[in-house]
A and B are shown apart, each in its own frame.
Chain A
Amino acid sequence: MTPRRRKMFGLLIVAFVALWVWWSYGPRTPATWTSADLSVLRSLSLDSLPALPADPSNAVADDPRAAKFGHRLFFDTRLSANGAVSCATCHQPERQFSDGLPKGRGIGLSGRNTPSIVSTAYSPWLYWDGRRDSQWAQALAPLEDPVEHGGNRMQYVRFIANDPDYRSEYESIFSPIPDFSDAARFPDAAAPIDDSQINAAWQSMSASDRRLVNSVYANMGKAIAAYERLILPGHSHFDDYVGAVLRGDDELSRTILMDEEILGLQLFIDEARCIECHNGPLFTNNEFHNTGILSFPGDLPDRGRIDGVRKVLADPFNCLGDFSDDRNRNCPELSYVRTGIELVGATRTPSLRVLADTAPYARKGQQATLADVLDLYNRGPLAMIGHNEAEELNLSRRELNQLEAFLNTLDAPLATAEEWLKAPK
Chain B
Amino acid sequence: MREIALLFVALLLPFAPGEVAGQDGEDPKVWDTGKGYFRVSYESRLHPLAINRIHAWVFHVETANGDTVNDATISVTGGMPNHNHGLPTSPRMTQSLGEGNYLLEGMRFHMAGLWEITVIIEAGGQQDTVVISLTL
Q: Which residues on A are within 8 Å of B, measured CB to CB?
A: 40, 124, 275-277, 279-280, 285-288, 332-333, 335-338, 340, 342, 389
Contact = CB atoms under 8 A, between A and B. Distances in A.
B20 to A, nearest CB: 15
A287 B88 contact: yes
Contacts of B111: 276-277, 279, 285
B112 A340 contact: no
Nearest to A286: B52
Contacts of A333: 54, 89
Interface residues of B, number: 19
B90 A285 contact: no
Contacts of B87: 338
A349 to B, nearest CB: 9
A389 B86 CA distance: 12
Contacts of B86: 338, 340, 342
A172 to B, nearest CB: 35
B106 interface: yes
B92 A336 contact: yes
B100 to A, nearest CB: 23
Given A277-B111, A389-B85, 6 more contacts: A279-B110, A287-B110, A332-B106, A335-B105, A335-B106, A336-B92
B53 to A, nearest CB: 9
Interface string B19-60: 000000000000000000000000000000001101000000
B88 A338 contact: yes
B89 A285 contact: no
Interface centre among A124, A279, A338 (most CB of B within 10 A): A338
B51 A336 contact: no
Interface in B107-126: 108, 110-113
B90 A279 contact: no
A288 B87 CA distance: 11
B52 A276 contact: no
Contact of A336 (B106, B112, B113): B106
A196 B54 CA distance: 41
10 contacts: A124-B54, A275-B112, A276-B112, A277-B110, A277-B111, A279-B110, A279-B111, A286-B110, A336-B105, A337-B90
